[in-house]
Each structure stands twice: as C-alpha cells, then as structure tokens.
C-alpha cells in the first residue's frame, strides 16, 4: 500500500481511479488521501468482490463503486472528469493495450500498476512509454516466499523525467 500511495502522492480534492478494485483495498486508501472534496472511482466486475467492496466502502461517500468490467468503453465514460491519479491491479493477463491506451487518454499525472506477472507488466508498460509516460520506479515484493511468484509495483508519470504535473481534463 505504501509503495502505491507514495508513488501516486494523491492530493486532497483530486480524482483517483481504482481499476480492478477487488474488495476496495486501494479505493479506501485513495479515499482517505483525496478526502471528502475528492472522488474515487472504483471499477470491479466480479460480483462477490463488488458486494464486498460495497460493504467495505459504504462509509466513504467520495467513492463511486461501479460493478463493471474495466474496458476501453467503461474508461471512455470517465472522459468528462478525467483522472489525476490511477491504480490498477489487473489479473495475471494484465490490462492489455486497449485498456492502457484508454486509461492514459484520461491524462492521469501518475499511475500505479500493481502486477503479479512480470511479462504482462512489461507489455503494458511498453504501451505507457509509447504514450509518453515515464517509468519512475519499479519495486518487486516477495509476498510468496519460496515460490517463483513476485508482486511488482510500477509508478508511471506523464511528464518528462517523472516530474509531477497537474491534471487538465481533455
């Protein structure tokens, strides 16, 4: 959690996205960071996870939980508000080119990509770099000792050299 929040540096009043939100772990932390004047849009398609997130996030009115599949279409629906920061924690297959392009078209100043598969992470990071984002940090966490599994957190910014910018919705 610290790697994501430190990397994103969400500010009060900002709009944050939590894609592939699961039970709402990142959405809750983002809601605290953006405060009551901010907004967190959490998207998750798995019905049991959405139900769990609804319970977990019920006392955070700044969170808009959407029981939808993360797709280019569901992300295009956010074009009016854009996004200041985003976290995505997709399944092992990764987000994919179309989702990455739709997310980055929203113009977040920082993106935290949490991945359990280095190969799909590398593929999706290549899309982000091609769209003008810079990889600022990449951390690996051995959450499953004595196995080949590793969890990675990549932080991307949309400004040259990784300097923090401000969000200007399209």
Active-site residue (options: 79, 116, 122, 138) = 116
Q: Any catalytic annotation for residue 152? A: no
CA atoms 128, 134, 136, 140: torsion sign? positive
Q: Give the alpha-carbon dihedral of 123, 92, 3, 34, to 10 degrees.
A: 100
Active centre residues (catalytic): 116
């Amino acid at each position: 959690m610290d790697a994501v929040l430190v990397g994103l540096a969400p500010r009060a009043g900002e709009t944050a996205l939590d894609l592939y939100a699961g039970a709402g772990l990142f959405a809750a932390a983002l809601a605290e960071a953006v405060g009551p004047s901010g907004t967190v849009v959490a998207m998750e398609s798995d019905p049991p996870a959405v139900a769990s997130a609804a319970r977990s996030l019920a006392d955070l009115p700044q969170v808009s939980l959407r029981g939808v599949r993360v797709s280019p279409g569901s992300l295009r629906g956010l074009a009016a508000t854009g996004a200041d920061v985003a976290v995505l924690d997709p399944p092992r297959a990764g987000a994919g080119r179309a989702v990455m392009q739709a997310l980055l078209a929203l113009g977040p100043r920082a993106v935290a990509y949490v991945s359990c598969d280095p190969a799909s992470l590398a593929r999706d990071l290549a899309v982000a770099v091609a769209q003008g984002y810079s990889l600022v940090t990449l951390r690996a966490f051995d959450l499953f000792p004595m196995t080949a599994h590793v969890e990675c957190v990549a932080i991307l910014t949309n400004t040259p050299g990784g300097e923090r910018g401000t969000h200007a919705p399209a």
